[in-house]
Amino acid sequence: MRAILDQAYSYIFEEALLDEIAKVAIYKEFKADDYLIEIGDYIKTMPLLLTGAIKILREDENGDELLLSVSEYYGVKPRGEKIEQGDFLSRAESLEGYKKCYPNDLVMNIMLAWKRGLGISKYAGIVSPAYSVFRFNEKVNPDYIHYLLRTDDYIKYFKTRSTGIIDSRLRLYPESFGDIGILLPDLEDQLKIASFLDHETAQIDTLIAKQEKLIELLKEKRQAVISHAVTKGLNPNVPMKDSGVEWLGEVPEHWAIPQIGYHAEVTKLTGFEYTNLWAPNDDGEIIALRGFNIQERYLDLNKTERISQKLSYKLIRSKLYKNDLVLPCTGTLGNAALIDKDNTYHINQNIAKVTYDKKLFFPEFCLYWMTSLPFRQMIDFNNTSGMQPVLLIGDIRKLPIVLPPLSEQVEVVSYLNIKTQKFDSLIKKAESAISLMQERRTALISAAVTGKIDVRHWQAPMVAEAEMGLSA
C-alpha cells in the first residue's frame, strides 16, 4: 500500500504523512462516469488521485460559491475542471473558513508559491483557507501581474522568501509576499504588455497543442503497427485461425497460443524475502526498480531506489538478469521493459519478473507482445479488483502469449525495430519542438514584463493576418 503512494506522491508528501495515509487509506478503482461522491453527500473523506483523472462537481445552487483551486499547471481554475495525477484535493470536511475570491484577484497557495502555485482568477468563488487572496488598486492591471509573478525569476525569489527547512514545508506567508517589490510600469504600458502576451502566448499554445495532438496520433499509429505485427505476422497471405481469445481474434494457423506460465518463470519479491530482508540503501550498488521506472519498452532511471550487492545476492528470486522482462503489478498496468545487463538491477515488491524459455522465445518479441494493445486489454480484463489496479503473479502466468517459430519472431522484431524507430524519431522531434516553444514562451514573457522588448507600439494584427501568420 505504501509503495503505491510513493509512486504517486513521494515528491509532494513527506514520509511521515505517507505512513499516516497508508494506515487509514482505502484503495478503490472507479470506471469512467462513476461518482466518487454524490452531490449533497456529507463529506468525511476526500479522494487522493493515484492515476487517471477526475472531475469535481462542486457549486452551490446560487452559483456564487464556485470552489476554485490554484496550481502550477493551470493557474486558478474551478475544481469542476479536469484534475490530473499530481494535483491533489483538499481534505476539508466543510467549507467553513473558506475565502471569497473575485475576478482579477490574485490567489496564492502559500505552500506552493515557490512552485508557481499562484495566479489571477477569472472567476468568482471560494478558495481554501490555506490560500491567500490579494486585490489590486486601479493602478495595476491584473493580467500583467499574472504574467510577471509567474516568471522564473520571481518564482526563484519566492523560494528564498519562503519559511521552512525542506521543500515540502516551505511557506510564503502574506506578510513576506507583500514585502516583495514588483516591476510596475504605468497602467497603459501594463495593458499593452498584457495584450501583447495574450496574443503571442495564444499562438504558441495553439502550436504546442498541435504538436501534442501529433504525438498522440504517432503513438496510436505505432501501437497499431506493433499490435498487428505480433498478432498477424508479416505475411498477409498466410492461413489464419481463430485464437479463441476475445482480444486477440485470428492469428496465423501455424502459431501456438500457450499460457505464459507454460514456458516462462514468473516471480516477484514476496514473503520472507520482502518482510525480513528488504532494506533500501541510498549507497547501494544495485538499482531497485519501482513501478514508475518501467515505461513502454524502456526503463526511466531518473529517480531510483537502491539496495546493496550483498542483499541482492540473498534475494535470488527477484534478482534481474539480461533479457528478463519486468512489468508493474500495481498502479499503471500495461508497461514492460527488457533488462539489458546482468548484476545491475533488482525489483521491489510491486514488479513482476518474467524469464522466458530462450529456446522458444526471442526476448524482444516477448517485449513487443507484452506492450501490444491485445495484451494490455487482457490485463485490464483480468484485473477484477475493485480497489487499486493489481496484477497477481498467478494472473500473469495464465495470460496467453502468441508463439510463432523462433525465426519468424526474429523477422517480426527486425521489422518492428525499423518501424518504431521512425515513429520514435518523429515523436522526439515533436517533443523537442514543444520544448523549444515552451522555452520561447517563457523567454517572451520574461522579456516583455521586464522591458527587454519594447511593445509600446505593438498592435494586434487583424484576424486575417493572424490566421495567415499562424498557418505559416
pLDDT at residue 162, as a whole number: 87
Q: Outline where DSSP puts E strands in 261-344.
A: 264-268, 286-289, 305-307, 325-328, 337-338
Q: What CATH architecture applies to the domain 217-423?
A: Alpha-Beta Complex (3.90)
What's the pLDDT band for 383 if we cut at 50, 70, 90? low
pLDDT at residue 179, as a whole number: 86
pLDDT at residue 320, as a whole number: 92
What's the pLDDT band for 82 if we cut at 50, 70, 90? very low
pLDDT at residue 384, as a whole number: 53
- Dump pLDDT digits (tens) for 448-460: 999 999 988 888 7
pLDDT at position 435 over 50: yes
How much is the average pLDDT of 440-466? 82
By DSSP bridging, strand 345-347 and strand 286-289 are parallel
- Dump pLDDT digits (tens) for 290-336: 888 898 889 999 888 899 988 988 888 889 999 999 998 887 788 89
- Whole-angstrom distance, CA of residue 124 vs CA of residue 102: 4
Which residue spans of the chain are classified as CATH 3.90.220.20?
217-423
How much is the average pLDDT of 19-29? 75
pLDDT at position 59 over 50: no
Is 371 in contact with 296 (CB distance < 8 Å)? yes
pLDDT at position 92 over 70: no
pLDDT at residue 89, as a whole number: 40
What's the pLDDT band for 75 if we cut at 50, 70, 90? confident
pLDDT at position 409 over 90: yes
- Dump pLDDT digits (tens) for 216-229: 999 999 999 999 99
Is 119 in contact with 107 (CB distance < 8 Å)? yes
Is 327 in contact with 395 (CB distance < 8 Å)? no
295 vs 64 pLDDT, higher one:
295
pLDDT at position 348 over 80: yes
Strand partners, 327: 352
Q: Outline where DSSP puts E strands in 295-387.
A: 305-307, 325-328, 337-338, 345-347, 351-356
- Within 13 Å, how many C-alpha atoms sit on residue 260's CB side? 25
Out of 52-61, 82-91, 306-315, pick the least confident: 82-91
Out of 198-207, 356-365, 389-398, pick the least confident: 389-398
- Dump pLDDT digits (tens) for 240-276: 999 888 888 899 999 999 999 999 999 988 877 787 8
pLDDT at residue 71, as a whole number: 75
- Dump pLDDT digits (tens) for 143-152: 999 999 999 8
How much is the average pLDDT of 123-136? 88
- Dump pLDDT digits (tens) for 158-211: 888 888 877 767 888 888 888 888 888 999 999 999 999 999 999 999 999 999
What's the pLDDT band for 464 if we cut at 50, 70, 90? very low
Residue with cell 514476496: 270
pLDDT at position 90 over 70: no
What's the pLDDT band for 37 if we cut at 50, 70, 90? low
Supply 73's cell numbers: 499547471
pLDDT at residue 270, as a whole number: 80
What's the pLDDT band for 388 if we cut at 50, 70, 90? low
pLDDT at residue 448, as a whole number: 94
- Dump pLDDT digits (tens) for 268-286: 888 777 878 888 888 889 9
What's the pLDDT band for 471 if we cut at 50, 70, 90? very low
Is 18 in contact with 2 (CB distance < 8 Å)? yes
How much is the average pLDDT of 99-119? 89
167 vs 116 pLDDT, higher one:
116
How much is the average pLDDT of 17-40? 68
pLDDT, the chain, mean: 83
**CA distance to 24, 374, 375, per residue, from 400 (Å):** 37, 10, 8
- Provide the CATH topology of domain 49-183: Adenine-n6-DNA-methyltransferase TaqI; Chain A, domain 2 (3.90.220)
- Classify residue 313 as exposed, middle or buried by CB count within 10 Å of its CB (0-12, 13-18, 19+): exposed
pLDDT at residue 401, as a whole number: 92
Residue with cell 469512467: 32
